[in-house]
Amino acid sequence: MAYPIGRILIPAVYWPWIRKVEGKENIPKNKPFIIAANHSSYFDTLLIPGIMVRVIDGKMNAWVNSYYWGNFMTRAFLDMWGAIPVHVEKDKDAKEKNKEAFSLTIKCLKNNEPVMIFPEGGRNDGKLRKAYPGIARLALSAKVPVLPVGIIGASRVMPKGKMLPRLARCEVKIGKLMHFDKYYNKQSEKTYGQVTRSIMKEIGRLIGQEYNY
């Protein structure tokens, strides 16, 4: 993310739509970690960084669908922000490009730069949907903990199809760091599935929903 401008402007712009934030004491300082949050609104995109930059004194990155690099203005903003493009399967050479994105993310984490991921891959309809195992693969490969974050009410602030926020407020609950040391030497598709489910179940607990995938 662009600093120091983003550190000042983003929290100031977003704060009027936030009712409360719980668990800020759980945000690590000066160490790498992955932020995992549910995703129901475009409002989520800068909501989490707006909270994190008040605590972490450094750069933050995020996985973002490569689709948004198709527009010059959004591309410039995402590059300035420190977003890392990830590609859906239908994109040309998606597999190879995602390998590059994965390697870049590992480098960011080794440089003590947190990375934000929406494990569901896209916006849900207000209910948790099945998550992708990429977050587990990254956490185990980079050997870093995951910080679960639950967002409640963002879809009321900015529903799908709306480009401006409404007169509503949301809540953010930040859980405790999740460590997966016991899986570092047991990586497999089965393990990735187990780790992903444990992350999503914790996010579900934070927002009062069941994750049944």
Least confident of 22-36, 79-93, 192-206: 79-93
Higher local confidence (pLDDT), 97 or 115 = 115
Residue 185: how many other CB atoms lie within 10 Å: 7
Integer CA distances (angstroms), 96 to 86, 88, 116, 197, in order:
10, 11, 21, 26
pLDDT at 8 exceeding the cut of 70: no
Who has greater pLDDT, 89 or 103? Answer: 103
Average pLDDT over residues 101-121: 95
Specify the pLDDT at position 5.
52
Which of 104, 2, 110 shows the shortest CA–CA distance to 53? 2
Across 98-126, average pLDDT: 93
Would you place residue 2 in the very low, low, confident or very high pLDDT band (cuts 50, 70, 90)? very low
For domain 5-207, give the fold.
Glycerol-3-phosphate (1)-acyltransferase (3.40.1130)
Q: What is the pLDDT of residue 70?
A: 80
pLDDT digits (tens, 9 = 90+) for 141-186: 999 999 999 999 988 888 887 777 788 889 999 999 999 999 999 8
pTM of the model: 0.91
pLDDT tens for each residue of 184-204: 998 999 999 999 999 999 999
| Annotated domain spans of the chain | 5-207
